[in-house]
Amino acid sequence: MKGLVFDAGPIISLTMNNLLWLLEPLRLKYGGQFIIPESVRVELIDQALESKKFKFEALQTQQYIRNGTLTVVNKKEIRDEALRLQKLANSAFSVRGQPVKIVHKGEMGVLATAKVQGADAVIIDERNTRELVEHPVHIAKIMRNRLHANVATNHSVLKKLRTELKGIKVLRSFELVTIAFEQGLLDRYIESKPELRKVLLESVLWGVKLNGCAVSDKEIHQVMKLERFA
């Protein structure tokens, strides 16, 4: 099934930038489903509704579930797979003999959904889950440097994890807003003033970064260059 699976982070980043509305036109352009696992729905809606500060953001997100822009998937097969991946990932590294729980069921729910549903990609903003998919050994390096402790890696678990997660492409809200810019979806903000296009792109790229997307200044510069603004 043609689909992109979203973690909570990109939805949060888009919401905080008043860009959640982009999901509808992007989904139409994509021609498939924008999927969130039930665990992500709980984080985005249920947990936010319990807070005072993010109730309205929860309602905004809920609207996009109600109108079918975001499809919630809640299958036992996915939950079981998420649990299995979570157990694997959380046994990959240990410090002082203690396994370190590096990932949450929400994030593994995203990866499990992508695997089970045969999705094109996952949309994940946070760094560590992305590293788990693309460069898991780097997580051990991060932990070693930051914790100043010996980090033991279970290489057989890591190898198994690599096999399980092989082929999963990771995009971020950063790439979504770049595509939205390229397709003119953001032109409403510059009222046919082409001289503001550079400002527009820069502003949305920094906007998603400053609301949680793990992207470097260097990558922002790369995209600005790609779009011929640098």
Least CB distance from residue 94 to another protein, whole Å? 9
Q: Which is nearer to another protein, 12 or 195 (CB)?
A: 12
Least CB distance from residue 180 to another protein, whole Å? 9
Q: Which is nearer to another protein, 52 or 188 (CB)?
A: 52
| Distances in whole angstroms, Cα of residue 117 to Cα of each of 4, 33, 97, 124, 228 | 10, 11, 36, 17, 37
Least CB distance from residue 59 to another protein, whole Å? 13
| Distances in whole angstroms, Cα of residue 142 to Cα of each of 97, 129, 165 | 18, 13, 20
| Distances in whole angstroms, Cα of residue 144 to Cα of each of 89, 95, 126, 148 | 17, 9, 19, 6
Least CB distance from residue 48 to another protein, whole Å? 5
Q: Element (H or E) spanning 140, and its range?
A: helix 136-147
Cβ burial 84-113 (10 Å sphere, 16+ → b, else e): ebbebbbbbbbeeeeebebbbbbbbbbbbb
Q: Which is nearer to another protein, 81 or 178 (CB)?
A: 178
Q: Which is nearer to another protein, 88 or 140 (CB)?
A: 140
70 in Cβ contact with 64 (< 8 Å): yes
Q: Which is nearer to another protein, 126 or 196 (CB)?
A: 126
Least CB distance from residue 44 to another protein, whole Å? 8
Tokens of 68: 């079918």
208 in Cβ contact with 174 (< 8 Å): yes
